[in-house]
Amino acid sequence: MTQAETTSETKIYLPSDAFVANAAVSGMAAYEALCAKAEADYEGYWADLARELISWKTPFTTALDESNAPFFKWFADGTLNASYNCLDRNVERGLGDKTAIIFEADGGEVTKITYSELLAKTCQIANGLRSIGIGKGDRVVIYISMSIEGVAAMQACARIGATHSVVFGGFSAQSLRDRIEDTGAKAVITADCQVRGGKKLALKSIVDEALAMPGCEKIEKVLVVNRADAPVTMVEGRDVWMNDLTAGQATTCEPEWVSAEHPLFLLYTSGSTGKPKGVQHSTGGYLLHAALTTKWTFDLKADDVFWCTADIGWVTGHTYITYGPLALGGTEIVFEGVPTYPDAGRFWKMIQDHKVSIFYTAPTAIRSLIKAAEANDAVHPKSYDLTSLRLLGSVGEPINPAAWEWYYKHVGGSRCPIADTFWQTETGGHMITPLPGVTPMVPGSCTLPFPGIQAAIVDETGKDVPNGQGGILVVKKPWPSMIRTIWGDGERFVKSYYPADFQGKYYLAGDGAIRDAKTGYFTITGRIDDVLNVSGHRMGTMEIESALVSCTELVAEAAVVGRPDDTTGEAVCAFVVLKRPLPVGDEAKAIAKQLRDHVGKEIGPIAKPKDIRFGENLPKTRSGKIMRRLLRSLAKGEEITQDTSTLENPTILSQLGQAY
């Protein structure tokens, strides 16, 4: 039975005795022993785990190579193949007939694929890629929706040593172009369309649009999966149907054995400048942490049905769909659709139908489903049988205690521990998280570092701050699944993550955090740079500003800040100076729509500002710097208490008070 106890300050939730007894890491003493082992022999700790969880073609002799810090290398003289580890190895262990993926399409159709079948499919794609001249060291951009083909395409790239770069299907042609150019990819894998919320949304035509722009000249082939017979234009000599490419291919394919340091993938994420960063991950260290965290944080067992609701276009989908669960031989759900279609009970129905036992989603989804459930019993979790669940997870943004409690009670039946996992695209896998059979949980806190991760909170000079006092989140030692570099820009990598402020010694996460005075638990207090987190999606304020000012016929100047939002966590709020007189009423609304559409086109719908405010100028200091703090207060609707005496024209504050 789960016990919940109340102390004078915080409510603490304990995992049940039964859960603890069966957990991969069982009890606080076991956790502490792992941490102590890592403390005593850091390299030996990771090396032992790497030998236990990964099959190596050639064993490594050195765990960590710090000779070119902060470009750390792990297991560098070992060779392996990620796809072999995720597929062949499971078939060889006798799991060939086990279901690897249960795919549920937007419309509800279910397709299951076993490990043997997924291996065969992956091999056919891999052979197809080889047949068109793709091989080790080439980059392949994947622009596809949630599908078995998407996972298999990633696995196929890994199999032949090609580095994949998945671009989320919600990004625009312009964003896709930028990523294609930066990766220097030779091929794109896409589909005719994606189906979400009952609608067919184009993919292939967006690829066509991107490839028509300058910068994509290196693309030789576009492979097109036929998802739903949507009309597409196939360019002679360049575009090939995936089915035609794979039809005659053998269902076996010798893996390319690569160094542990070989780049498995590039994944673009937002930073504090306008240009997204191509985060480069390794093969060996990354796969180790993907497998290890799936084992320890998610406690994945042979008969579990695991469901991570993230998209493969984000890092969560990479680590906890394509790599982690498959590396352990698990059975997982891949879902094409959206949580609110055909109604907001979709997640609960799918948990019931597939007897999902481990469920991992984002606070934004939970918050929006709470609203829907409170308005309509039919889509409330209580209307479904969710007794198959034994563990829940949360990722991507802080989970507010009220949403945590609801998730715990109504989805987890007050029975399932919640792993509030803090991590980032750059970290490859979980960094700070409760382990379900170990950690007493406090809603809203991601609790303690994963064993071996040396997370700490420091001040601007790199000095440790005492518990109870907020500061800057850092990681003091390199870890196997960490970012290796920013693709093509080592200097930016060093500047962003190993800044001179900390003598280049600590990894800078970019988040603020505080440790509880008594328990030492971590709570993330939010980004300390110009990065917003909207619905768990990371966005740079400068990226959105650049998109706005690229609307040159209308926009003279723009500044973007975040403001709290009940559902999406943060919302994008844009302050815009137009090249025309200040609009009001319907005219302002129409221009705001035009600007939103423009941002949608430049970046993607997820970046569209929720609020747009117009002014004849932006509030600036005497030296001409935009007063962002003031903008944040305006965005929140707060009373302005800051000193505004330096403002050239204080009336702009009242202009900027109106959101469209």
Residue 313 in tokens: 């276009």
For the annotated binding site for Mg(2+), the residues are: 549, 555
- The single residue listed with the structure tokens 């007897």 is 355
* 143 in Cβ contact with 203 (< 8 Å): yes
Q: What backbone phi and psi angles, to 5 degrees, belong to 92?
A: -65, -30
- The single residue listed with the structure tokens 């942490």 is 289
With residues binned 3-state (H G I as helix, E B as strand, rest as coil), the percentages for the chain, rounded to 5, are 35, 25, 40
Q: By CB under 6 A, is residue 381 in contact with ligand PRX?
A: no
C-alpha span between 622 and 619 (Å, rounded): 10
Cβ 34 to ligand PRX, closest distance in Å? 21
C-alpha span between 390 and 428 (Å, rounded): 25
Closest CA to 149 of 325, 339, 312, 338: 312
C-alpha span between 375 and 378 (Å, rounded): 9
* 416 in Cβ contact with 386 (< 8 Å): no
Specify the residue, 125 or 267, whose C-beta has the smaller distance to ligand PRX.
Answer: 267
Region near ligand PRX per CB under 6 A, out of 41-49, 328-336, 503-511, 637-645: 503-511
Q: By CB under 6 A, is residue 311 in contact with ligand PRX?
A: no
Cβ 423 to ligand PRX, closest distance in Å? 5
Q: By CB under 6 A, is residue 182 in contact with ligand PRX?
A: no
C-beta neighbour count of 229 within 10 angstroms: 9
Maximum pairwise Cα distance, the chain: 74
Q: By CB under 6 A, is residue 361 in contact with ligand PRX?
A: no
Cβ 312 to ligand PRX, closest distance in Å? 13
Cβ 363 to ligand PRX, closest distance in Å? 8
Q: Which residues pair with 334 in a beta bridge?
A: 103
Region near ligand PRX per CB under 6 A, out of 50-58, 120-128, 167-175, 417-425: 417-425
The count of C-alpha atoms lying within 13 angstroms of the C-alpha of 542, restricted to the half-sphere facing its C-beta, is 10
Q: By CB under 6 A, is residue 398 in contact with ligand PRX?
A: yes
Nearest residue to ligand PRX on Cβ basis? 425
For the annotated binding site, the residues are: 196-199, 316, 396-398, 420-425, 511, 527, 535, 538, 549, 555
Residue window 522-551: x/- pattern of binding to ligand PRX, with contact defined by CB under 6 A: --x--x-----x----x-------------
Specify the residue, 172 or 421, whose C-beta has the smaller distance to ligand PRX.
Answer: 421
Q: Which residues pair with 21 in a beta bridge?
A: none
Q: By CB under 6 A, is residue 446 in contact with ligand PRX?
A: yes
C-alpha span between 541 and 270 (Å, rounded): 9
C-alpha span between 417 and 311 (Å, rounded): 23
Specify the residue, 316 or 568, whose C-beta has the smaller distance to ligand PRX.
Answer: 316
Cβ 269 to ligand PRX, closest distance in Å? 5
- The single residue listed with the structure tokens 């090249």 is 579
Cβ 426 to ligand PRX, closest distance in Å? 7
- The single residue listed with the structure tokens 């002014």 is 615
Cite the beta strand spans of 167-271 per DSSP E.
187-191, 193-196, 199-202, 221-225, 239-241, 258-259, 265-269
Dihedral sign from CA coordinates of 383, 386, 392, 394: negative
Q: By CB under 6 A, is residue 438 in contact with ligand PRX?
A: no
Residue window 457-496: x/- pattern of binding to ligand PRX, with contact defined by CB under 6 A: ----------------------------------------
Specify the residue, 525 or 658, whose C-beta has the smaller distance to ligand PRX.
Answer: 525
What single string gives the DSSP state of each residue in 261-298? TS--EEEEE--SSSSPEEEEE-SHHHHHHHHHHHHHTS
Sorted by sequence, the CB contacts under 8 Å of residue 184 that are 6+ apart come out as 139, 218
Cβ 66 to ligand PRX, closest distance in Å? 25
Q: By CB under 6 A, is residue 397 in contact with ligand PRX?
A: yes
Q: In the set 20, 157, 315, 606, which binds ligand PRX (CB under 6 A)?
A: 315
Region near ligand PRX per CB under 6 A, out of 31-39, 90-98, 289-297, 506-514: 506-514
Q: By CB under 6 A, is residue 316 in contact with ligand PRX?
A: yes
Q: By CB under 6 A, is residue 425 in contact with ligand PRX?
A: yes
Region near ligand PRX per CB under 6 A, out of 35-43, 57-65, 396-404, 640-648: 396-404
How far, rounded to the nearest angstrom, does the alpha carbon of residue 594 sit from its chain's CA centroid? Answer: 29
Q: Which residues pair with 209 in a beta bridge?
A: none
Cβ 170 to ligand PRX, closest distance in Å? 14
Closest CA to 423 of 443, 400, 453, 402: 453
Cβ 80 to ligand PRX, closest distance in Å? 24
Residue 352 in tokens: 């019931």
Cβ 280 to ligand PRX, closest distance in Å? 14
Q: In the set 246, 282, 421, 454, which binds ligand PRX (CB under 6 A)?
A: 421
236 burial (CB, 10 Å; 0-12 / 13-18 / 19+) is exposed
Region near ligand PRX per CB under 6 A, out of 328-336, 488-496, 505-513, 623-631: 505-513
Q: In the set 182, 511, 530, 545, which binds ligand PRX (CB under 6 A)?
A: 511
How many residues are recorded in the chain?
Answer: 660
Specify the residue, 423 or 479, whose C-beta has the smaller distance to ligand PRX.
Answer: 423
For the annotated binding site for ATP, the residues are: 396-398, 420-425, 511, 527, 538
Specify the residue, 80 or 279, whose C-beta has the smaller distance to ligand PRX.
Answer: 279
Cβ 118 to ligand PRX, closest distance in Å? 25
Cβ 422 to ligand PRX, closest distance in Å? 4
Closest CA to 261 of 277, 279, 278, 285: 285
How far, rounded to the nearest angstrom, does the alpha carbon of residue 350 sit from its chain's CA centroid? Answer: 22
Residue 353 in tokens: 């139908």
Q: By CB under 6 A, is residue 269 in contact with ligand PRX?
A: yes
Q: In the set 46, 84, 335, 423, which binds ligand PRX (CB under 6 A)?
A: 423
Specify the residue, 422 or 614, whose C-beta has the smaller distance to ligand PRX.
Answer: 422
Residue 280 in tokens: 């480069």
Cβ 329 to ligand PRX, closest distance in Å? 24
For the annotated binding site for CoA, the residues are: 196-199, 316, 535
Give the binding site for ligand PRX (CB under 6 A): 269, 315-316, 395-398, 420-425, 446, 509-511, 524, 527, 533, 538
